[in-house]
Copies of this chain bind each other. A is one copy, B any other.
Amino acid sequence: MSLLVTGSIGIDTVETPHGRREDVIGGSAVYFSYAASFFTPVRLVGVVGDDCPRSLLKVFEGRDVDTRGLEIRTGSKTFRWHGSYVQDMNDAVTVEVDLNVLAERAPKIPQGFLDAKYVFLANTHPVLQQEMLASLDSPRLVVADTMNLWIQTEHKELCKLLGKIHGLVLNDGEVRLLTGEKNLITAARKVLKLGPRFVVIKKGEHGSLMCSDRGEFVLPAFPAEQVVDPTGAGDSFAGGMMGYLATQGTFSPSTLKRALAFGTVVASFTIADFSLAGLQAATRDQIDDRWHEFKQAMNF
């Protein structure tokens, strides 16, 4: 089924204990789209400036990603992020960030995309997320991500958004900030009261936790010895999860569990190399094999 994602497309510079990469492709929508396209066709909505090298945008060539919603805005500059994991592989230090085109008006969703049934609203201003959602015809499953900035500065708009979506994906620090609760299950239950039917909390190397009115589900991360660059792990996780869900047509607890496990596995490929290289080296067969390995390992 059609899966639409709106989010950032960026040019990253990343430093980790394994090295440094300058001006590589990044951004939430990029990782999400690539990850989800292992499972289902993806419609990408995002905007870059005219400074963005065309070579960077070629990452989707040969992938089932419809880039008609990718706007190259003349006179604007592409979002840039420079992060370092040198001190802590679980927590990026932002060395520099230039919102650039992300601080301008949102990209337009193409007419042909408006009937999307599965929607992922990657992290951006909650007013923009609501606007994009309002422009869609009749989505069946809408999941959003957010970040500390909006939790702190746009709490009211964020709560309005939460009343309109089915699922929220965020990390442990964010859900604690959003709810004021330290215990993640208590925090997740508080979020459910704000609207979403399920909440997925990403805990990085410690895995993930899903909470719905049908109960909780916890999953460790895939045990990875080779962690080269954690950038995009969370967005790849969301992409794998949503990509799988879009092929299922049901959101039963067991489907959500399997989706979470696919997200976990896809993210394990992302972190094995810099930028998109880990995902680019992966195949759907490898993902399925690792998923079965993970499932087997969880079985006791």
Taking Cβ atoms with an 8 Å cutoff, the residues of A that contact B are 89, 182-183, 185-186, 189, 203, 206-207, 209, 215-221, 223-225, 227, 254, 257-258, 260-261, 295, 297-300
Contact = CB atoms under 8 A, between A and B. Distances in A.
Nearest to A222: B218
19 contacts: A183-B225, A185-B223, A185-B224, A189-B225, A203-B206, A206-B220, A207-B218, A209-B223, A215-B297, A216-B223, A218-B220, A218-B223, A218-B297, A254-B300, A257-B300, A260-B300, A261-B300, A295-B300, A299-B299
A118 B224 CA distance: 32
B219 A220 contact: yes
Contacts of A258: 300
Contacts of A182: 89
A260 B300 CA distance: 9
Contacts of A207: 206-207, 218, 220
Q: List the 10 closest pairs (A to B, CB-CB), nearest first.
A: A257-B300, A218-B220, A206-B206, A185-B225, A216-B223, A298-B298, A258-B300, A220-B220, A218-B223, A261-B300
Given A182-B89, A258-B300, A300-B254, A221 B221 contact: no
A219 B294 CA distance: 11
Copies of this chain present: 2
A207 B260 CA distance: 18
Contacts of A183: 225, 227
A186 B299 contact: no
A94 to B, nearest CB: 21
B225 A186 contact: yes
Contacts of A300: 217, 219, 254, 257-258, 260-261, 295, 298
Nearest to A262: B300
Contacts of A189: 225
Nearest to A183: B225
Contact of A297 (B185, B217, B225, B297): B217
Nearest to A225: B185
A216 B294 CA distance: 11
A137 B254 CA distance: 50
Contact of A298 (B209, B223, B227, B299): B299
Nearest to A258: B300
Contacts of A224: 185
A179 B224 CA distance: 17
A184 B183 CA distance: 24
A93 B218 CA distance: 28
